[in-house]
Amino acid sequence: MTDDTPGEKLLMGNEACVEGALAAGVEFFAAYPITPANEIGEIISEGLPKLGRKFIQMEDEIASMGAIIGASIGGLKSMTATSGPGFSLMQEHIGFAVIAEVPCVVVSVMRGGPSTGLPTRPSQGDVMQARWGTHGDHPIIVLSPYSVKETFDLTITAVNFSEKYRIPVILLMDEVIGHMREKVRLTGPEKIEIINRIKPDAPPHWYKPFEDNKTGIPPMANFGEGYRYHITGLTHDEMGFPTSKPDEIKDCIERLFRKITLGLKDIQLY
């Protein structure tokens, strides 16, 4: 990265993604190398430790997704980056993060497929996978930048949306945006809105981790802060315990949709 004039930088999309992640307060990044997303992991592996935050390279994409879910449950803003085949491997954990309402950001820098396909060539082959990759019926938020500058902006937005709505957010780039260089003027920290997850105000023994409220978004306590609660990939009641009661299942799934539909005016960017 080279400074041209004060406030301006010559960046490629993957670099802008890292700048956005750091500006948004991402504290934990786990990933496995894959073209054309490699630069995101390489650059953020240097940037996070300088700020006292954590980077870890995992053994594969499944483990990477599990790591960011665990870090988020512990209270850290978390993110990973991958491309087509790795994105496919993450789908089961993405579904888990949806039903367990764990905030996190997944960046997919799209390439050609299927399978290994065209690792160094552009494609928009993950569009349907981003929306419908997991099984079951649930909403998700997907943001897709059209420029290097918007990659910076939407990375911040992705982190904010994940924290605000307690949901995984997918940032859907492609090889062209990831590797294209542009002169950009990044928004200064004083003008960047940072959103943090809502914390409970009830004592631990009164806390309902999946309580239904008027927003549909229950407050999220961090593990390790005295709040002990159950997290499962099964349909669950307000306390997080698995249920097979039709009325509780209905309430669980409908609330996942309601918290997004109530926020559509905020979420839909075009």
Residue 191's φ and ψ, nearest 5 degrees, are -110, 0
pLDDT tens-place string over residues 106-157: 999 999 999 999 998 889 999 999 999 999 999 999 999 999 999 999 999 9
User: What is the sign of the dihedral through the CA atoms of 223, 238, 165 and 214?
Assistant: negative
What is the pLDDT at residue 7?
72
The pLDDT of residue 254 is: 96
pLDDT at position 4 = 47
CATH superfamily of 2-184: Thiamin diphosphate (ThDP)-binding fold, Pyr/PP domains (3.40.50.970)
The pLDDT of residue 164 is 98
Q: Which residues of the chain have pLDDT under 50?
A: 1-4
pLDDT at residue number 1: 45
The pLDDT value given to residue 122? 87
So what's the pLDDT on residue 2?
A: 45
Q: Where are the domains of the chain?
A: 2-184, 204-267
Cβ-contact 78, 72 below 8 angstroms: yes
pLDDT at 6: 57
pLDDT at 138: 95
